[in-house]
Amino acid sequence: MKFGVVVFPGSNCDHDCFYALKTACHQDVRFIWHKDHNLGDVDAVILPGGFSYGDYLRTGAVARFSPVMDAVVDFANHGGIVVGICNGFQILCETGLLPGALMRNKDLRFVCKFCHLRVENFDTVFSNQCLQGKVLNIPVAHAEGLYYATDDVLAELNKQNGVLFRYCDKDGTLSDDSNPNGSLQNIAGIMNREGNVMGMMPHPDRCFEKLLTSSDGVSIFNSMVQNGGIN
Amino acid sequence: MATARIFVTLKKGILDPQGKAVEHALQGLGIDAVKGVRVGKLISLTFEDVSETEARRLSDEACEKLLANPVIEDYEVELLQAVE
């Protein structure tokens, strides 16, 4: 499968994504510069974490107007697989490819730690290789990760099983203590109605080998690969 | 020349933790008549060679496309006419 990792000015997890896909998942990966107007021959696009455009104005607000984003929107609208991790998730919400918004963490602090995640839907392009009943251990690192959406949007997301990951304790129980940023309904990651665009605040690109404490991120990348193999 | 002052704030009903922190600090200072604080942004746009109507229209367009996120924020535009 061919992955493209978009590089914005201020991206700082672009190489993490590249390395994870290359070494842990053995896939073809290339970087896509934010000024490019087309994505080239790729099957999936990753918007990596970081501080695109210095997070000026709002996180992701300026990046959404990068030249490459027209191509990303077009790719997504034609069924292409698009993943936003952390800052990438913020960009996807600003772009409107995903509903809702990421706001300042409830306690106003930058949070950087491992979090437990409960997988809410296993039948997706992004989670089909996650094991039923296994709680994932994946780190977060952000100051603006509080997922917010109106009650109507949340109801719609839940109805279509669009919430993929929720923050939980190590046993998989949802609680306020396990919610690192005050996200509504402990939401850590969502996908669109069509099931081809996904955003998550935790970083699977920071836990793909034992040396990094956890290798749970691999199951998310491998889900896409598995899906690509089927198609 | 005209200047538009644009105030961007979180929508009513959305928790504003910065506002809460400032409110607590004010109460600590004894300024406890304050009931409710919201923290927002002020963005100033300077226009040249456009009418007041046009400056207002462009300000609204700027807010809707970029300066405010309609999911979580409201904005207000205040137009100041510079003294020639």
- Contact call for B71 and A93, based on CB within 8 A: yes
Task: Give the residues across from A81 on adjacent strands.
Answer: A44
Query: Cβ A57–B67 below 8 Å, yes or no?
Result: yes
Q: Write out pLDDT tens, residues A149-203.
A: 999 999 999 999 999 999 999 999 999 999 999 999 999 999 999 999 999 999 9
pLDDT tens-digit readout, A73-100? 999 999 999 999 999 999 999 999 999 9
A196: phi then psi, degrees, rounded to nearest 5: -115, -5
**What does the pLDDT read at residue A28?**
97
Residue B8 confidence (pLDDT) above 60: yes
Q: Please write the tens of the pLDDT for every residue from A113-161.
A: 999 999 999 999 999 999 998 999 999 999 999 999 999 999 999 999 9
ipTM: 0.88
Q: A120, A202, A113, A98: which is closest to A165 by C-alpha?
A: A120
Site of tokens 């000024």:
A35
Find out whether A53 and A90 touch, Cβ atoms under 8 Å: no
Give start and end residues of each alpha helix (H) in chain A.
Answer: 14-19, 67-77, 87-95, 151-159, 217-230
Write down the pTM of the prediction.
Answer: 0.95
What percent of chain A is modeled with pLDDT above 90? 97
Count the domains in chain A: 1
Please give the Cα distance from B7 to B20 (Å, whole number). 19
Written as one string, the DSSP assignment of A11-59 is B-SHHHHHHIIIIIS--EEEEEETT-S---S-SEEEE--B-GGGG-SST
pLDDT at B69 over 70: yes
> Nearest-CA distance from A128 to chain B in Å?
31
Instruction: Look up the domain containing A61 and give its range.
Output: 2-230
Q: Do B69 and A107 touch (CB under 8 A)?
A: no
Beta pairing, strands A111-119 & A44-47: unpaired
CA nearest neighbour of A199 among A75, A64, A82, A26: A82
Could you tell me the CATH number of the domain that includes residue A69?
Answer: 3.40.50.880
Residues of A with CB under 8 A from a CB of B: 57-58, 61-62, 65, 93-94, 100-101, 103-108, 148-150, 182
Confidence of residue B83 (pLDDT cuts 50, 70, 90): low
Give the length of chain B.
84
Tally C-beta pairs within 8 A across A and B. Answer: 31
Set out the domains of chain B in order of their start, with CATH numbers.
2-81 (3.30.1280.10)
Q: Which chain A residues have a beta carbon less than 8 Å from that of B40?
A: none
Distance from CA of B17 to the nearest CA of A (A): 6
User: Is A106 in contact with B67 (Cβ distance < 8 A)?
Assistant: no
